[in-house]
């Protein structure tokens, strides 16, 4: 196994990766901005290197500084976590050119899935069901019109270089098409330096269901069930659960096997997530994420498999120590993302934490770099803790989650714990009866005046 790994990230995920390394006897190198000198991941790591000032582009996105830190400390591998450089194909290439293992997929697979048009074409050819839409990119308005006639309205224009909700426009009728087409292209060109767009039928009230996979890079891919990530606001997930309240065992096995078989054909390496919109019993591929995701602990809770440990084993030698026959989903798990923001206005709330008491007890996991006295910096994502609760079934999980949320103390900075508590009293949520737009409606009707 590697003797030393550099963790090119911050916050709870840097800590998460450190913990897997420590259990495996791997030394860790933390990198940090000047704003994160007192962060928990820096305190716990065996070594740390300051890589720049607070803005991410000068530190956590600063490839030369990170490579220098790896060379100076003699790290044999780099784990990119999520966000930052995790899906940057050039970074993966540079790391490997320096003889350092990139803990993630090949640069070619990151690039393939990063372009949403090539991703969709490739997975369709591999046998994964995709959202009905244009045959690849739509080059001009004439083509847009002919594709629209075939797809029907409402439809969605999407930027090939977008993803995660960036660069999309709904078109309700033909008279909006020309305007929407030119705006989407112009916005995509300005935002991503690539004005390639494609079209899809617009699904009105789907659920967002994603399949977790692990590939060994040698043609073996296992699937680990799904996560239902429909509860989101402005493309930020707020709560995720596994299994999805909408799937039965047969549907789960069918889509999981299909995804694993497809990715085995390309010898996919590492952790990956295949995202679907699920509506009327049908799975429609939208995107693939070629990284470890924020919500991975939900899958760990129901499968008992340490995903970061598997990532490290795969990057080192391709030797996953899990086989499909041994993977089963046991019970139910829910993750609440705890953000440093006002529960109803969503205004960010950085600052010093003086009161901190995380919940505990059976079935409760808190992934967080918080401690009493810590100052939440204003420069980064507002995610400060993940509360992951499991139970033998969804009801037990929900009762335990409500109890854990009640125990959680974070102050005096604001957090969205109150939003999560409000969800625990909503009949539709408790019934698992929700879709991708449901949470925004819930917030609108629940927020105090
Ligand atoms: C869609 C869609 C409806 N129809 N595609 C948004 C994020 C990006 N991953 C894809 N997204 C969507 N694609 C078709 N053909 C609706 C969304 C969407 C969405 C998807 C998942 C989770 C939350 C969402 C919120 C708004 C829109």
| Local confidence pLDDT in tens for the 449 residues of the chain | 999 999 999 999 999 999 999 999 999 999 999 999 999 999 999 999 999 999 999 999 999 999 999 999 999 999 999 999 999 999 999 999 999 999 999 999 999 999 999 999 999 999 999 999 998 999 999 999 999 999 999 999 999 998 777 889 999 999 999 999 999 999 999 999 999 999 999 999 999 999 999 999 999 999 999 999 999 999 999 999 999 999 999 999 999 999 999 999 999 999 999 999 999 999 999 999 999 999 999 999 999 999 999 999 999 999 999 999 999 999 999 999 999 999 999 999 999 999 999 999 999 999 999 999 999 999 999 999 999 999 999 999 999 999 999 999 999 999 999 999 999 999 999 999 999 999 999 999 999 97
Residue pair 291/80 in contact by the 8 Å Cβ criterion: yes
Token couple for 159: 């930027």
Please tell me the predicted confidence (pLDDT) of residue 152: 96
| Cβ-Cβ contacts under 8 Å for 5 (sequence gap 6 or more) | 17, 21, 26, 27, 28, 29, 75, 76, 77, 78, 79, 103, 312
Please tell me the predicted confidence (pLDDT) of residue 254: 98
Token couple for 44: 């716990």
Please tell me the predicted confidence (pLDDT) of residue 163: 79
Rg, Å, the chain Cα set: 22
Please tell me the predicted confidence (pLDDT) of residue 165: 77
- Determine the distance separating the centroid of ligand 1 and the alpha carbon of 440, expressed in angstroms: 14
| Residue corresponding to tokens 């008279």 | 175
Residue pair 351/413 in contact by the 8 Å Cβ criterion: yes
Name the nearest CA neighbour of 363 among 294, 296, 297.
Answer: 297
Please tell me the predicted confidence (pLDDT) of residue 193: 92
Please tell me the predicted confidence (pLDDT) of residue 166: 80
72 to each of 49, 376, 380, how far by Cα in Å?
A: 9, 29, 26
- Determine the distance separating the centroid of ligand 1 and the alpha carbon of 135, expressed in angstroms: 19
What is the residue with the minimal CA distance to atom 12 of ligand 1?
Answer: 165
Sign of CA dihedral 303, 284, 83, 406: negative
Please tell me the predicted confidence (pLDDT) of residue 303: 98
| Residue corresponding to tokens 């080192």 | 316
Kindly list the catalytic residues. Answer: 291
Atom of ligand 1 nearest to the CA of 131: 15
Angle at which helix 11-23 crosses helix 307-317, to 10 degrees, equals 70
Name the nearest CA neighbour of 245 among 434, 419, 441, 390.
Answer: 434
87 Cβ below 6 A of ligand 1: no
219 Cβ below 6 A of ligand 1: no
The total of other beta-carbon atoms located within 10 Å of residue 375's CB is 13
Please tell me the predicted confidence (pLDDT) of residue 225: 98
Residue pair 228/326 in contact by the 8 Å Cβ criterion: no
Please tell me the predicted confidence (pLDDT) of residue 164: 74
- Determine the distance separating the centroid of ligand 1 and the alpha carbon of 100, expressed in angstroms: 36
What is the residue with the minimal CA distance to atom 14 of ligand 1?
Answer: 202
Sign of CA dihedral 29, 33, 36, 37: positive
Token couple for 396: 């037990």
Q: Are strands 47-52 and 27-33 parallel, antiparallel or unpaired?
A: parallel
Please tell me the predicted confidence (pLDDT) of residue 167: 83
Q: Diameter of the chain by CA atoms? A: 62
74 Cβ below 6 A of ligand 1: no
Please tell me the predicted confidence (pLDDT) of residue 125: 98
Sign of CA dihedral 133, 136, 138, 142: negative
- Tens-place pLDDT, residues 228-273: 999 999 999 999 999 999 999 999 999 999 999 999 999 999 999 9
Q: Which alpha helices (H) appear in 222-346, and where do they start and end?
A: 249-265, 296-303, 307-317
- Determine the distance separating the centroid of ligand 1 and the alpha carbon of 165, expressed in angstroms: 6
H-run or E-run covering 233: strand 221-233
67 Cβ below 6 A of ligand 1: no
Distance CA 328, CA 303 (A): 6
- Tens-place pLDDT, residues 317-359: 999 999 999 999 999 999 999 999 999 999 999 999 999 999 9
Name the nearest CA neighbour of 67 among 8, 128, 150, 2.
Answer: 8
Substitution site in 277, 280, 288, 293 for ligand 1 pocket (most atoms within 8 Å of beta carbon): 277
Please tell me the predicted confidence (pLDDT) of residue 60: 98
């Amino acid at each position: 196994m590697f003797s030393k790994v550099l963790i090119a990230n911050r916050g709870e995920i840097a800590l998460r990766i450190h913990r897997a390394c420590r259990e495996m006897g791997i030394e860790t190198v933390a990198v940090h901005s000047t704003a994160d000198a007192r962060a928990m991941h820096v305190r716990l790591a065996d070594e740390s290197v300051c890589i720049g000032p607070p803005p991410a582009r000068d530190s956590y996105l600063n490839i030369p500084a990170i490579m220098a830190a790896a060379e100076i400390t003699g790290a044999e591998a780099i784990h990119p976590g999520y966000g930052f450089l995790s899906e940057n194909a050039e970074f993966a290439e540079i790391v490997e050119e320096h003889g350092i293992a990139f803990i993630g997929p090949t640069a070619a697979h990151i690039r393939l899935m990063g372009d949403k048009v090539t991703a969709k074409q490739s997975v369709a050819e591999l046998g994964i069901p995709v959202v009905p839409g244009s045959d690849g990119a739509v080059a001009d308005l004439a083509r847009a019109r002919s594709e629209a006639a075939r797809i029907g309205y409402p439809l969605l224009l999407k930027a090939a270089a977008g993803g995660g909700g960036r660069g999309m426009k709904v078109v309700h009728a033909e008279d909006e098409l020309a305007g929407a087409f030119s705006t989407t292209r112009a916005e995509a060109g300005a935002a991503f330096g690539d004005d390639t767009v494609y079209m899809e039928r617009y699904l009105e009230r789907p659920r967002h269901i994603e399949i977790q996979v692990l590939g060994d890079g040698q043609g073996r891919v296992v699937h680990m069930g799904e996560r239902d990530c429909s509860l989101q606001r402005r493309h930020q997930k707020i709560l995720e659960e596994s299994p999805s309240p909408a799937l039965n065992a047969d549907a789960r096995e069918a889509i999981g096997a299909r995804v694993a078989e497809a990715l085995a054909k390309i010898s996919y390496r590492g952790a990956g997530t295949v995202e679907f919109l699920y509506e009327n019993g049908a799975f429609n591929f939208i995107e693939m994420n070629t990284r470890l995701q924020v919500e991975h602990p939900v899958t760990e809770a129901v499968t008992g498999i340490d995903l970061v440990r598997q990532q490290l084993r795969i990057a080192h030698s391709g030797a996953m120590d899990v086989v499909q026959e041994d993977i089963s989903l046991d019970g139910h798990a829910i993750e609440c993302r705890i953000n440093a923001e006002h529960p109803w206005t969503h205004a960010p709330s950085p600052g010093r934490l003086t009161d901190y008491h995380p919940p505990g007890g059976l079935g409760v996991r808190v992934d967080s770099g918080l401690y009493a006295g810590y100052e939440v910096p204003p420069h980064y994502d507002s995610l400060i803790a993940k509360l992951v609760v499991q139970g033998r079934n969804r009801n037990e999980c929900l009762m335990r989650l409500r109890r854990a949320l009640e125990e959680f103390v974070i102050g005096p900075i604001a957090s969205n714990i109150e939003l999560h508590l409000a969800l625990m009293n909503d009949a539709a949520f408790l019934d698992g009866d929700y879709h991708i737009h449901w949470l925004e409606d819930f917030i609108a009707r629940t927020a105090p005046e």
